[in-house]
Amino acid sequence: MCDYKKYLDEGIYCINKGEIKKAIDLITQSIDLKNDWEISYFYRAVAYHSIEKYDEAILDYTKAIELNEKMTDAYYNRAKIILSRKDIKNPDITRAVNDLEKALELDEKFLDALYAMAAAHKKLGNYQKAIEYLDKLIKLEPDAVNARALKKLINQKYL
């Protein structure tokens, strides 16, 4: 096995064990050996994301996407950071929507992305658009309790 793969595998193992600093160090060693492999950047971003180092995570998700524009989860995770950050007063929700659109273009049945898209449109005040995404989700997953609850809230409070 190539060393860069070994370092990545060990890093992923450390992420799963909760040893995030060690995981980041190992995955960085993988990147040092092979800096054109999107998988390493993606998993280092996951590690940074897990310890709320959002700027670093966004940079690595972005690099993963630059290397492979079909990284559905990288688009989704980058959008989730934007939508959930509490340390930024006015996050760029439109950027999150663009990332979620790309994730859904790659996988139209990505349930979490459909829900996140509905939440993003709710934040933007596009309540009807939010309902459309929730309806798509509910059609795919009729037992989606959170989607049903958000739809009810939007209908009762905003429409």
Residues 17-28: pLDDT tens digits?
Answer: 999 999 999 999
Which of these three, 10, 42, 68, is where a domain ends?
A: 68
pLDDT band at 87 (very low <50, low <70, confident <90, very high): confident
Per the structure, the complete domain to which residue 138 belongs is given by 86-159
Does residue 76 form part of some domain? no
Task: Please tell me whether residues 124 and 98 are part of one structural domain.
Answer: yes
- The whole-model pTM stands at 0.93
Task: Please tell me whether residues 147 and 98 are part of one structural domain.
Answer: yes
Are the beta carbons of 31 and 45 closer than 8 angstroms?
no
Does residue 81 form part of some domain? no
